[in-house]
Amino acid sequence: MIDIKQIRENPQRFKEAGRAKHFDVDIDRLLEIDSVLRAAKNQQQEISTSKNRIGKSIPKLDGDRKQTALAELAELKQQETRYDDQIKGLGPEFDALMQQVAQPADDDVPLGKDDTENIEIRKEGEIRQFDFEPKDHVQLGRELDIIDIERGVRLAGTRNYILKGDGALLHWAVLRFALDYMTGKGYVPMSVPLLMKDEAMRGTGYYPGAEEQTYRMEKDELNLAGTAEVPLTAYRMGEIVKADELPLKYVALSSCFRREAGAAGKDTYGLYRIHQFDKVEQVIICENDNEQSRAFHDEILANSEAVMKALELPYRIVNVCTGDLGRGQAKKYDIEAWMPSRENYCETHSASKFYDFQARRMNLRYKDAVTKKNLFCHTLNNTVIASPRILIPLLELYQNADGSVTVPEVLRPYINGRETITKA
């Protein structure tokens, strides 16, 4: 959520931010309601002051003077009720509009309509050139008997799958390696709930906007989280954190659930865009300082790059354009791994910087050591690794001419020292 004072000072900035990000919100209507509410609250304050003054004077009055004061007090109470009704009537619309306001992107974020206009920053690693006809991950998985999409669909519907045998072991190995790496960097490991209240979804900025992509448990008023970002970021919501606790650095391994409503075409093949997956997620909560946010944004990106480099997977970094940013994201880097079967770099990680957008919605603050004021924290998050999507480049790039798959060296300790995956 944005500070209403910033919107009052420069409404055009937020109109332009909404257009650039494709979030339609009526800023003029928001400011109109804000003006009415401010006036009503000021009147309420004046009425309260007058009521106190008159109330204190009544015991000292008698006769006509007392009756006049009582009549004046009654009139003030009627006025107060009218202003109360006005505030109650306009409050929900004001809150709804405030939740729709988009955070302006950083100045160095490219202007663009969608992900086709993201800007490449750099490439890392060499793309493998095959001296045989390579297979895609679905073919490899089927022939090695480690991926069973057909039975997954039979059990759970489209975009579901089963990993079995070495496929399951490779999946868990990737996740465990990433988790071990992050705990080695000092991030606190967390095991978090998968079902979230609407309050946590709103606080992290997923509601309003992502309801159609979320599996919602209407009977229980709970939601299956699409990422551990939600419980990790909301973990301290509503609290005033001690300044010396910051930065808070968390990492979680959790299952994630996404409806992927509206997605179609090539993305639906194999393991790329699925309803359930597992992800190691990193979250940082820090002081309200733009330079700190910038430094931590670089840090969480570097953490994910270190995992990709350890897996020896070629990838590129892109600066995500305005049209591909979420409502609350001020800047986002995507890591895209090279996937031979897709003949392209494809997104596997997203590193996001929010400033105080999420913390303001969650009322997550800390007491500044210098000013002694309660300030809203800054929040950041990034994927460390997500599987089974990452199995696409792992299987395809590490395949051999005989149909086997070499296990990346860093993963071998997690698979009993195995060097290759072959058909049983």
Active site residues: 258, 273, 347, 350, 389
Beta strand 195-197 with 222-224: parallel, antiparallel or unpaired?
A: antiparallel
Cα separation, 242 vs 238, in Å, equals 13
Of 112, 94, 106, nearest to 21 by C-alpha is 112
Rg (the chain; Cα; Å) = 27
**CB-based contact 285:378 (threshold 8 Å):** yes
**CB-based contact 417:158 (threshold 8 Å):** no
Cα separation, 269 vs 418, in Å, equals 29
Beta strand 119-124 with 365-367: parallel, antiparallel or unpaired?
A: unpaired
Structure-derived torsion over alpha carbons of residues 109, 332, 7, 42, reported in degrees to the nearest 10: -160
**CB-based contact 329:354 (threshold 8 Å):** yes
